[in-house]
Amino acid sequence: MTVHVLKCDHGPFGDLWDGLKTCEVRKDDRGYAVSDTLKLVEREHGIQTGRVMFASVSHIQRGYGLPDDLVVLSVNVHLKTRDY
Protein backbone atom coordinates (compact mmCIF):
# COMPACT_ATOMS: atom_id res chain seq x y z
CA MET A 1 0.00 0.00 0.00
CA THR A 2 1.28 3.42 -1.00
CA VAL A 3 0.30 6.86 0.30
CA HIS A 4 -0.02 9.45 -2.48
CA VAL A 5 0.05 13.12 -1.39
CA LEU A 6 -2.03 15.10 -3.87
CA LYS A 7 -2.96 18.76 -4.19
CA CYS A 8 -6.68 19.28 -4.73
CA ASP A 9 -8.43 22.48 -5.81
CA HIS A 10 -11.02 23.95 -3.45
CA GLY A 11 -14.13 23.04 -5.53
CA PRO A 12 -13.49 19.32 -6.09
CA PHE A 13 -12.03 19.01 -2.58
CA GLY A 14 -15.18 20.51 -1.07
CA ASP A 15 -17.38 18.09 -2.99
CA LEU A 16 -15.37 15.15 -1.65
CA TRP A 17 -15.42 16.66 1.86
CA ASP A 18 -19.22 17.02 1.74
CA GLY A 19 -19.75 13.53 0.30
CA LEU A 20 -21.14 14.81 -3.02
CA LYS A 21 -18.29 13.28 -5.00
CA THR A 22 -16.76 9.80 -4.64
CA CYS A 23 -14.03 9.76 -7.27
CA GLU A 24 -10.96 11.61 -8.47
CA VAL A 25 -9.74 11.98 -12.06
CA ARG A 26 -5.96 12.06 -12.11
CA LYS A 27 -2.98 11.64 -14.41
CA ASP A 28 -2.02 7.97 -14.36
CA ASP A 29 1.60 8.69 -13.47
CA ARG A 30 1.97 7.33 -9.93
CA GLY A 31 1.24 3.63 -10.20
CA TYR A 32 -2.07 3.85 -8.36
CA ALA A 33 -3.41 0.58 -6.97
CA VAL A 34 -6.55 -0.52 -5.13
CA SER A 35 -6.08 -0.06 -1.35
CA ASP A 36 -3.61 2.82 -1.80
CA THR A 37 -4.26 5.87 0.37
CA LEU A 38 -4.69 9.37 -1.01
CA LYS A 39 -3.74 12.28 1.22
CA LEU A 40 -5.64 15.12 -0.40
CA VAL A 41 -4.46 18.62 0.50
CA GLU A 42 -6.91 21.44 -0.30
CA ARG A 43 -5.60 24.48 -2.15
CA GLU A 44 -7.45 27.66 -3.00
CA HIS A 45 -5.84 30.17 -5.38
CA GLY A 46 -2.62 28.12 -5.10
CA ILE A 47 -2.44 28.36 -1.30
CA GLN A 48 -3.03 25.49 1.12
CA THR A 49 -6.19 26.07 3.19
CA GLY A 50 -5.26 23.68 6.01
CA ARG A 51 -7.96 21.12 5.24
CA VAL A 52 -6.66 17.62 4.58
CA MET A 53 -8.45 14.33 4.02
CA PHE A 54 -7.38 10.74 3.68
CA ALA A 55 -9.18 8.35 1.34
CA SER A 56 -8.58 4.78 0.26
CA VAL A 57 -8.77 3.77 -3.41
CA SER A 58 -11.56 1.21 -3.83
CA HIS A 59 -11.60 0.93 -7.65
CA ILE A 60 -9.53 2.14 -10.59
CA GLN A 61 -10.98 2.81 -14.03
CA ARG A 62 -8.70 2.89 -17.03
CA GLY A 63 -9.64 2.74 -20.69
CA TYR A 64 -13.30 2.78 -21.83
CA GLY A 65 -12.77 6.01 -23.72
CA LEU A 66 -10.47 7.65 -21.18
CA PRO A 67 -7.23 9.05 -22.57
CA ASP A 68 -4.30 6.70 -21.90
CA ASP A 69 -2.76 9.08 -19.38
CA LEU A 70 -5.89 9.51 -17.19
CA VAL A 71 -7.43 7.34 -14.50
CA VAL A 72 -10.62 7.57 -12.42
CA LEU A 73 -10.04 6.60 -8.79
CA SER A 74 -13.10 5.63 -6.76
CA VAL A 75 -12.41 6.55 -3.15
CA ASN A 76 -13.73 6.05 0.36
CA VAL A 77 -12.93 9.01 2.61
CA HIS A 78 -11.97 7.83 6.08
CA LEU A 79 -10.49 10.90 7.78
CA LYS A 80 -11.09 14.63 7.43
CA THR A 81 -8.99 17.06 9.43
CA ARG A 82 -7.39 20.46 9.54
CA ASP A 83 -3.62 20.55 9.22
CA TYR A 84 -2.51 23.22 11.69
Could you give the dihedral angle defined by the CA atoms of residues 25, 7, 5 and 61, in that order, rounded to the nearest 10 degrees?
Answer: 0
User: Residue 47's domain spans which residues?
Assistant: 3-82
How is the beta sheet containing 3-9 ordered, strand by strand? 3-9, 37-44, 47-61, 70-82, 23-27
Segment 6-60, tens digit of pLDDT = 999 999 999 999 999 999 999 999 999 999 999 999 999 999 999 999 999 999 9
| Domain at 47, CATH number | 2.30.130.30
Rounded to 5°, the CA angle 30-32-37 comes to 110
Residue 62: pLDDT over 80: yes
Overall domain count for the chain? 1
pTM passes above 0.85: yes
Can you give the pLDDT at residue 1? 86
Greater confidence, 70 or 83? 70
